[in-house]
Amino acid sequence: MTSPVVARMKQKRMADLISLGKRLDERGLTDYREAQIEIGVIEKAEGSARVRLGKTEVLVGIKIGLGEPFSDVPNQGVLTVNAELVPLASPTFEPGPPGEDAIELARVVDRGIRESKAIDLEKLCITPGKKVFIVFIDLYVLNYDGNLIDASALAALAALLNTKVFNYEVKEGEVQIKPGYKSLPIRNYPIAVTFAKINDKLVVDPCLEEEQVMETRLTMTIEKDEKVCALQKSGKGYFRIQQILEAAKIARQKAAELRKLVVKK
Amino acid sequence: MPKKKVKKVVNKENIRHDGRKLSELRPIKLEVGILGNADGSAYIEQGKNKILAGVYGPKEVHPKHLALPDRSRLRCRYHMAPFSVQERKSPAPSRRDIELSKVIREAFEPSVFTEYYPKTSIDIFIEVLQADGGTRCASITAASLALADAGIPLRDLVSACAAGKVDGRIVLDLNDKEDKEGEADLPLAYMSNLNAITLLQMDGMLTSEEFEQAINLALEGCNQIYQLQKEALKAKYVEVKETMNEGADEQ
């Protein structure tokens, strides 16, 4: 995903700045880029949101379908997350089936939503073992400028919060759709916070250039009660335990800030 | 997914359903150099997990355009046999397999001196023959031995182990039942001598105290596994020495 080359001089400048606690775009090490969130941008989707994080742009559409539950959880609805790195979003994205980066993105976002039990899946059961609602979350990357995970997770949560489920009734074992909608039952608000390790320092919300020079990356997803609900280390390098514990502290703060943008009390 | 528990996985005396203490590893058996064709190989049994790892390389890269000018390309395939789990698994790689292949490869990047072998590839193949929870960690433990067995220069062995939360308690090395019925699972890979964490994932819910406790417990598990790995590597060379001596006696 990060193939274009960054000049050595720029790399060095970035590393030097970071050791002074500064960044190329003048942010502090723990500052996010400006986040803009629009909801309900796709009328035909049951839920949708577009998030801009600096120049990174992700559109999330949610469709609700009917299907069979998994046999080990017959009384729960089904959640699936898919990500598309659309070729129009970056010269490095190519058409074709999802590669490992797209799969990782989808699975990290999925883990945050699933493990924090953000959706009350039991309320999405129609007939146990036979019919349940399926929540399809599709992450659509429209412009890639780094930190796709945080932008996608934020967009997914914003979209879930405005997702409508159609009314239905069961007649002789058949599900019939009735007019009107209900809100999707949401009970937790997971927020992903990603750190890049550059020159042995942690920076929050890496932009594309920073991702291209980073040694490695860590995503922490924090739920509403400040528990950690998902983690993913990604990239070639390594972390020291102190760095991970430090990241956990910062992540809690940042997650609370970001959550205010989506969850309006 | 938590289910209605009839029987607790961990009892009041802090003994787990398989008889282990909270911070006890499952029995581990390691063998090095067990495949004929691979440049390096290893086999691990950790509890009911049975996993083979084979390494080929450094060798010419196919397709050629994947070759890197300044270092070797590390590649990894994690794959589960169709019969390795309760319900038959399709042999086609799942999304989970693809993600795990990626994070396992990245867990080895800091370990291998890839810059010694530009324009080549080093391929790691992992076959899970039987899975019982914690396969990514056991795979890393075995694959690290396979890399060493292939004679590839390493900064350190990578050892991996998970910690997690089951029935409200932080436990080491979760098996399948504990993983499924527990509250959290945190797999971690570690280079003991370099104090470097090369793989870290988690799903579940942990408070900050539990999180710190789990990471420390997993690191402790990795240190124990590191010792077992060193013994397994040495054991292979004792074997080689013995066969050489036997050969000399015959002459």
Residue A233 to residue B200, Cβ atoms within 8 A: yes
- The mean predicted confidence, pLDDT, of chain B is 94
- pLDDT of B45 strictly over 70: yes
Residue A241 to residue B215, Cβ atoms within 8 A: yes
In a domain, B81, yes or no: yes
Q: What is the pLDDT of residues B216-251, one digit of tens each?
A: 999 999 999 999 999 999 998 887 778 888 877 776
- How many domains does one find in chain B? 1
Q: Are B178 and B163 contacting, i.e. CB atoms less than 8 angstroms apart?
A: no
- pLDDT of A116 strictly over 70: yes
Q: What is the pLDDT of residues B135-156, one digit of tens each?
A: 999 999 999 999 999 999 999 9
In a domain, A3, yes or no: no
Tokens of A220: 């922490």
Return the pLDDT at B139. 98
Domain containing B92: what range? 28-243
Residue A218 to residue B102, Cβ atoms within 8 A: no
Q: What is the DSSP string of B107-144?
A: HHTTTB-GGGSTTEEEEEEEEEEE--S-HHHHHHHHHH
Q: Please give the residue that has the higher pLDDT: either B7 or B230.
A: B230
Return the pLDDT at B241. 78
Quote the ipTM score. 0.93
Tokens of A210: 């920073």
Domain containing A211: what range? 8-262
Residue B103 to residue A223, Cβ atoms within 8 A: no
Can you tell me the distance from the alpha carbon of B35 to that of B166, in angstroms, rounded to the nearest whole number?
Answer: 37
- Which of A116, A235, A240 is opposite residue B197, by nearest beta carbon? A240
Q: Are B38 and B142 contacting, i.e. CB atoms less than 8 angstroms apart?
A: no
Q: Are B43 and B155 contacting, i.e. CB atoms less than 8 angstroms apart?
A: no
Label residue B6 left, alpha or beta by phi (over 0 means left) and psi (-120 to 50 means alpha).
alpha
Can you tell me the distance from the alpha carbon of A148 to that of B1, in angstroms, rounded to the nearest whole number?
Answer: 27
Q: B39 CB contacts (<8 Å, ≥6 apart)? A: B55, B56, B57, B149, B150, B151
Residue B130 sits in a domain whose CATH number is 3.30.230.70
- The percent of residues above 70 in pLDDT, for chain B, comes to 97
- pLDDT of B92 strictly over 70: yes
* Helical ranges in B18-153 per DSSP H: 95-108, 135-149
In a domain, A221, yes or no: yes
pLDDT category, A19, cuts 50, 70, 90? Answer: very high
| Terminal CA-CA length for chain A | 37
Return the pLDDT at A150. 98
Q: Which residues of B sit within 8 Å Cβ distance of A?
A: 1, 95-96, 98-99, 101-103, 106, 109-110, 186, 191, 194-208, 211-212, 215-216, 219
Residue A195 sits in a domain whose CATH number is 3.30.230.70
Return the pLDDT at A2. 47
Residue A244 to residue B110, Cβ atoms within 8 A: no
In a domain, B190, yes or no: yes
- How many domains does one find in chain A? 1
Q: Mutation target for B interface from A73, A75, A108, A233: give the one with most B CBs within 10 A.
A: A233
Average pLDDT over residues A141-169: 96
Closest CA to B104 of B127, B132, B84: B127
